């Protein structure tokens, strides 16, 4: 269709598509990555639209049966509602079309078929006899009923799955030994006293029938604030709810990353994320790292949509375990300063201050208690299951455990300098997140959940045969660990010291030809 503004003698589009059937009107522009210049969609009949789940903003022009413009809406971003009750149809056009064509309410439009140069078929659609309008009204009602049924069915299905997951997690919590989640639950219960106290934690966990050896939380106060609601429940109920929340977060992050990198509908994000070894370990232990994953993914996606306030606030989740996302946080700071996106900095600071003030109000001594706990952790000489930990195990020199972290910092300097002018958080940000956990001095296998977004990128854009081969090999290590096969030979979690490097190699090898440059340098 060709759409012209006869009042202004301007053209709005020459490749506008017609959406008059129920299916086409319901789908609209969903699933598309953008509109080409001159493109658009004419939805008839239609008096309201939404931009939920869309990937780009649009201009909206509402017109009545005589093609008179009733309302214009410029740059309607995703997740918005718009309506004009006096309109009969709506044009969805690329951003800038209204401004370029100078279209205003009251203007008269002309819509013709690009090939036939006439409006015969369209006029029949818009100005047909009353019987056709009545049939169309019945069809619209049926379509609305169908959409409501689908929505209700989806809600019921999701609710059913969540109930099943909760029941399974509750049974697992009652049968399995007490896991890491006990430290977060105990910290929420002791928050107004001293959640970092070894003696208080041990006494409380023993009185609750949990463990003999105390599990002491190491996260900062602003992170514990996020978990306080779970302290109102019993341990087993809180663990089950946390497991359901964790599954939902992993699934949602995987789906969001998959959609954002431009891949079509696929079961790949669901299968890769749920068969991913770190996901299984994280769910078994009830670890906090799932919130770090959520914060990092939200930050990358929200910046793309220029939602700087929300993007900055999402960093509060990443700061819950800053040591495993150190390179990512440094890259975020460099990017914010370089591009002068001060709202990100202000928002992140306000979110951190708000959570910290809330923690201080509930426990005025919380930061002093956290500092004492941090000093104990700093003086630990334990080997952690990562590349640095293995260097320490082999050499006996604790300083070598910091070598991967230092190498990561050096790599980030060069990586930032080379890509700072073309930085894309949906690509470079995910790679930096992967390198953050691979180079971390203090990390455990469940922290490798942060490698998942970069692995999805590698699977979508890279060589899938290479990806699946290296992914399966690295994931096999988790299979041997979870099934306790390696335990029969006297190995513990240190057996997984190489897996973070394995995920790094998986992405590196699968993406090595993307854009003609290696992904860790390009």
Q: Is the separation of the CB atoms in 65 and 47 below 8 Å?
A: no
Angstrom distance (rounded) from CA 401 to CA 398: 6
The whole-number pLDDT of residue 266 equals 78
Phi, psi for 101 (deg, rounded to 5): -90, -5
Q: How many domains does the chain have?
A: 2
Distances (CA, A) of 376 to 8, 207, 210, 359, 370: 73, 25, 23, 21, 10
* DSSP H or E segment with residue 141: helix 130-175
Assess if residue 420 is contained within a domain. yes
Residues 6+ apart with CB under 8 A from 396: none
Do 102 and 228 lie in one domain? The reply is: no
pLDDT in tens, 341-364: 999 999 999 999 999 999 999 999
Task: State the residue range of the domain holding 273.
Answer: 176-516
Q: What is the CATH number of the domain that holds 39?
A: 2.60.120.1140
pLDDT in tens, 387-406: 999 999 999 898 899 999 99
The whole-number pLDDT of residue 125 equals 47
Assess if residue 51 is contained within a domain. yes
Do 123 and 231 lie in one domain? The reply is: no
Residues of the chain with pLDDT under 70: 114-147, 211-213, 262-265, 513-522
Q: Is the separation of the CB atoms in 452 and 250 below 8 Å?
A: yes
Angstrom distance (rounded) from CA 92 to CA 90: 6
Do 471 and 377 lie in one domain? The reply is: yes
Do 330 and 473 lie in one domain? The reply is: yes
Do strands 10-13 and 2-5 pair parallel, antiparallel, or not at all (unpaired)? antiparallel
Do 92 and 180 lie in one domain? The reply is: no
Residues 6+ apart with CB under 8 A from 214: 198, 201, 202, 205
Do 233 and 300 lie in one domain? The reply is: yes
Assess if residue 344 is contained within a domain. yes
Assess if residue 156 is contained within a domain. no
The whole-number pLDDT of residue 137 equals 55
Residue ending a domain, among 98, 128, 158, is 128
The whole-number pLDDT of residue 280 equals 94
Specify the residue for token string 């019921």.
156
Assess if residue 55 is contained within a domain. yes
Do 413 and 265 lie in one domain? The reply is: yes
Do 353 and 477 lie in one domain? The reply is: yes
The 10 Å CB-count burial string (b at 16+, else e) for 211-237 is beebbbbbbbbbbbbbbbebbeeebbb
Do 306 and 204 lie in one domain? The reply is: yes
């Amino acid at each position: 269709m060709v759409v012209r503004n006869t009042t202004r003698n301007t053209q709005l589009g020459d490749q506008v598509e017609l959406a008059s059937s129920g299916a086409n009107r319901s789908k609209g522009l969903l699933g598309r990555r953008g509109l080409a210049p001159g493109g658009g969609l004419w939805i008839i009949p239609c008096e309201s639209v939404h931009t939920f789940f869309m990937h780009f903003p649009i201009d909206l022009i509402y017109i009545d049966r005589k093609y008179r413009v009733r309302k214009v809406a410029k740059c309607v971003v995703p997740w918005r509602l718009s309506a004009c009750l006096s309109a009969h149809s709506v044009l969805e056009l690329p951003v800038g079309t209204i401004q370029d064509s100078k279209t205003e309410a009251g203007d008269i439009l002309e819509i013709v078929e690009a090939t036939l140069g006439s409006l015969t078929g369209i006029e029949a659609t818009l100005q047909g006899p009353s019987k056709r309008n009545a049939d169309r009204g019945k069809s619209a009602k049926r379509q609305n009923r169908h959409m409501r049924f689908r929505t209700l069915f989806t809600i019921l299905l999701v609710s059913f799955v969540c109930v099943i997951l909760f029941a399974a997690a509750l049974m697992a919590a009652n049968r399995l030994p007490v896991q890491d989640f006990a430290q977060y639950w105990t910290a929420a219960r002791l928050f107004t006293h001293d959640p970092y106290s070894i003696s208080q934690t041990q006494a409380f966990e023993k009185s609750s029938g949990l463990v003999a050896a105390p599990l002491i939380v190491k996260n900062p106060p602003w992170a514990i604030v996020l978990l306080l609601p779970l302290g109102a429940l019993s341990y087993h109920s809180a663990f089950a709810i946390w497991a359901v929340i964790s599954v939902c977060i992993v699934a949602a992050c995987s789906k969001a990353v998959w959609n954002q990198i431009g891949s079509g509908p696929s079961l790949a994000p669901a299968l890769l994320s749920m068969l991913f070894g770190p996901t299984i370990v994280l769910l078994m232990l009830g670890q906090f790292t799932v919130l770090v994953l959520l914060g990092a993914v939200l930050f990358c996606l929200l910046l793309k949509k220029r939602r700087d306030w929300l993007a900055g606030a999402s960093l509060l989740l990443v700061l819950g375990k800053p040591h495993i996302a150190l390179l990512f946080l440094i890259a975020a700071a460099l990017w914010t300063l370089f591009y002068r996106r001060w709202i990100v900095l202000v928002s992140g600071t306000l979110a951190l201050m708000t959570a910290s003030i809330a923690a201080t109000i509930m426990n005025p001594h919380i930061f002093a208690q956290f500092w004492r706990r941090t000093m104990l952790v700093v003086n630990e000489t334990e080997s952690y299951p990562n590349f640095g930990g293995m260097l320490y195990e082999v050499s006996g020199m604790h300083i070598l455990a910091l070598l991967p972290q230092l190498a990561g910092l050096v790599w980030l300097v060069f990586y930032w300098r080379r890509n700072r002018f073309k930085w894309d958080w949906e690509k470079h940000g995910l790679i930096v997140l992967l390198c953050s956990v691979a180079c971390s001095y203090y990390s455990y296998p469940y922290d490798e959940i942060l490698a998942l977004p970069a692995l999805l990128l590698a699977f979508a854009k890279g060589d899938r045969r290479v990806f699946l081969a290296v992914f399966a090999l690295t994931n096999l290590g988790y299979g041997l660990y979870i099934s306790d096969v390696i335990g029969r030979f006297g190995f513990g979690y240190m057996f997984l010291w190489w897996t973070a490097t394995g995920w790094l190699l998986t992405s590196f090898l699968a993406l090595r030809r993307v854009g003609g440059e290696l992904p860790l340098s390009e």
